[in-house]
Each structure stands twice: as C-alpha cells, then as structure tokens.
Copies of this chain bind each other. A is one copy, B any other.
Amino acid sequence: MAKPKKHVLVCVQGRPPGHPRGSCQDKGCAQVWQQFSDAFAARKLWESGLQLTHTSCLGPCHLGASVLVYPEGVMYTGVQPDDVAMLIDQHLLNDTPVERLLAPAEVWA
C-alpha cells in the first residue's frame, strides 16, 4: 500500500430507534458502503491509488448518508446507493466534486 491519491470515508454509524440524532444507518448507508466496496473491487480502484474505509460518526447525521473524501476534505450528504458511480466517475477519477451532493455550508464550511 501507499498513501492514497484520494481516501473515501463512508459513515456506517447506527443508533437505536428514536434516537434524536438519527444516524446514517437509518438513511441506508450500508447499501452506500456496499456499492463503494463492490465498485472498488470490480474497477480495481485500490490498484489505482484510491482507498476506502468505513467509519463511525462523521457529524451531519440528520443529513446522511455521509461520505467524506480526503485530502481535499469534501463532504457529501444525502448520498444514495445510486449516487456512488457518479461520485467515483466525476470526483475520484476526474477530480470534479459532485455539486448536487455537497454538504450544506452550515454543516461543513
């Protein structure tokens, strides 16, 4: 392994039903993670210098599912499984963040 060009962090935090903060798990993050994981394997993204890790809480629980890309520090919220291919094609492979999914300034600015 080497220091990655981009490191994708996918929140997989869960909380009990009725918890006031909610969680990314409530918003389907397990499927978002699976899409990333499958795509990294199928498209050999690890071998292309990208890295993928799942995490505890990244912060904007009420807007999840949350995905954070470093080193640029771009946070995405409201990510759905169908968004993953676009995040890979536009941002990870073409360095163009997906505007539609950017976290609002009140949570990440």
Contacts and interface: CB of A to CB of B under 8 A. Distances in A.
A9 B59 contact: no
B71 A109 contact: no
Interface stretch (A22-30, A47-55, A79-87, A90-98): A47-55
Q: Could you say how many copies of this chain the assembly holds?
A: 2
For the complex, would chain A's binding face be called helix, strand, loop or mixed by DSSP majority? loop
Interface residues of A, number: 22
B55 A51 contact: no
A3 B109 contact: yes
Given A1-B108, A2-B107, 15 more contacts: A2-B108, A3-B73, A3-B75, A3-B108, A3-B109, A7-B73, A9-B53, A51-B59, A53-B56, A53-B57, A54-B55, A55-B55, A55-B56, A70-B70, A71-B71
